[in-house]
Amino acid sequence: MFNLNDPMLYVFAAVVILFVLAQSVFFLMKAWKRGKELGIDKKKLRNVVSSSALFTVPSALSVLATVIALAPALGLAIPWVRLSVIGNLMYETTAAEAAMEAMGHQGGMAVPVSDPVIYAGIAWVMSLGICFSLIILPFVAKPLNKKFMSAGKKEEKAQSDDGTKKKRGLGGFINDHATPAIFIGLIGAFIARAIIGAGKAETFGDGAGVLSIITLVVAIVASIGFELLAKKLKLTWLEPFVMPIGMIIAMIAAIVFFNVLPEDIALLEWRG
C-alpha cells in the first residue's frame, strides 16, 4: 500500500536536505575565508552572517506555511524537499493543483493522494517545471538586465517647470504596472477558487465554502493590518513577515472556526 508518510520518503528527503545544508556550509566557509583574505574585519563578517541569517526568517515562515498547505494532499516529504531547494508558494501550489486535475485526482489539496502514479506525476511536474528557470536564466538574464538598465537610464526623471508629472519609460511601466498585474493575476486565481469553488459535487473539500471564505477574509485582513502597522510605525523589519504571518493566522482561524461553528455550517460547500 502506498503511504504518504512512508519512512523511505523521509530518508530520500533527508538526503536532499543534508546535501543542501552541506552546500550552504561549504560556500559559507569559502566566503568567510575569502573575506579574511580581503582583510575584512571579523566583526563585520559576523554581522553579515547574522543579518543574512535573520533575512532568511521570513522566507522560512513562507516555506513552513506552504508545506502545511500542501501536506494534507502530498504529505510532508515532497513539499519539504521542493520548498527547501527551489520553489515558492505560488508555483508549488499551482503546479501541484494543475497536475492533480490533469491526472484525475479529485478533492484538490484537501484529499490525500493515494495513487503512487499520481503522486509521482505531481512530484515530477513540481520538480521539472521549476528547473526551466535554471536552464533559461543563464541565457536570458544578462540580456534582459541590460535592457532594463538601458530603459531605466533613458527615463526622464526631471520634472518640468510647470509642475507636470515625470515621464516614465519601460522600466517604470514594468515596475509600476506589469509586475503588480502579474502578481495580482496569480492571487486572483486562488481567490476565485476560494469564493466560487471547483470540482465535482461528490468530492468533499473540492469546492468553496464557509471556511474557505473565512480563511480568505482573515488572511486579507491580517495582511493589510500588519502592512499598515509596518508603515505606520516604520517597522521595516516587519514588512517581509507580512505574508507568512497572514497565512499562518488564516490557517489558525480555519482550525478555530471549524471547531467552533456548527457542523452543518462548517462543512457547507458550493461550486460555481
pLDDT, tens only, 71-105: 888 998 988 888 888 777 778 888 888 888 888 88
Task: Tell whether 85 is covered by a domain.
Answer: no
How far apart CA 13 and CA 143 sit, in angstroms, is: 36
What integer best gives the mean pLDDT of the chain? 80
The pLDDT value given to residue 29: 92
What ranges make up the beta strands (E) of the chain?
208-209, 269-270
Copy the grid coordinates of residue 109: 489539496
Task: Tell whether 249 is covered by a domain.
Answer: yes
Mean pLDDT (whole number) for 49-65: 75
Task: Tell whether 252 is covered by a domain.
Answer: yes
- Residue range of the domain that includes 241: 170-272
Whether 169 has a pLDDT exceeding 60, the answer reads no
Task: Tell whether 25 is covered by a domain.
Answer: no
Q: Which residues contact 194 (CB under 8 A, 6 or more apart)?
A: 208, 212, 213, 215, 216
The pLDDT value given to residue 63: 79
Task: Tell whether 181 is covered by a domain.
Answer: yes
% of the chain at pLDDT higher than 70: 84
Lowest mean pLDDT among 36-40, 104-108, 176-180, 244-248: 176-180
Task: Tell whether 264 is covered by a domain.
Answer: yes
Q: Nearest Cα to 59, choosing from 249, 244, 246, 252?
A: 244
Lowest mean pLDDT among 77-81, 160-164, 178-182, 248-252: 160-164
Helix (H) or strand (E) holding 91: helix 89-102
- Express each pLDDT in 204-241 by its tens digit: 666 788 888 999 899 999 999 999 998 898 888 777 77
3-state class (DSSP) for residue 269: strand
The pLDDT value given to residue 235: 83
Lowest mean pLDDT among 18-22, 64-68, 172-176: 172-176
Residue 205 phi, psi dihedral angles, 5° rounding: 90, 0
Mean pLDDT (whole number) for 4-31: 91
Name the band, by pLDDT with cuts 50, 70 and 90, for residue 251: confident
The distance of Cα 271 from the centroid of its chain, to the nearest Å, equals: 26
Task: Tell whether 262 is covered by a domain.
Answer: yes
3-state class (DSSP) for residue 95: helix
Residue 86 phi, psi dihedral angles, 5° rounding: -135, 130
Task: Tell whether 82 is covered by a domain.
Answer: no
Residue 270 pairs with which residues in a beta bridge?
Answer: 208
The pLDDT value given to residue 165: 53
The number of folded domains in the chain is 1
Name the band, by pLDDT with cuts 50, 70 and 90, for residue 33: very high
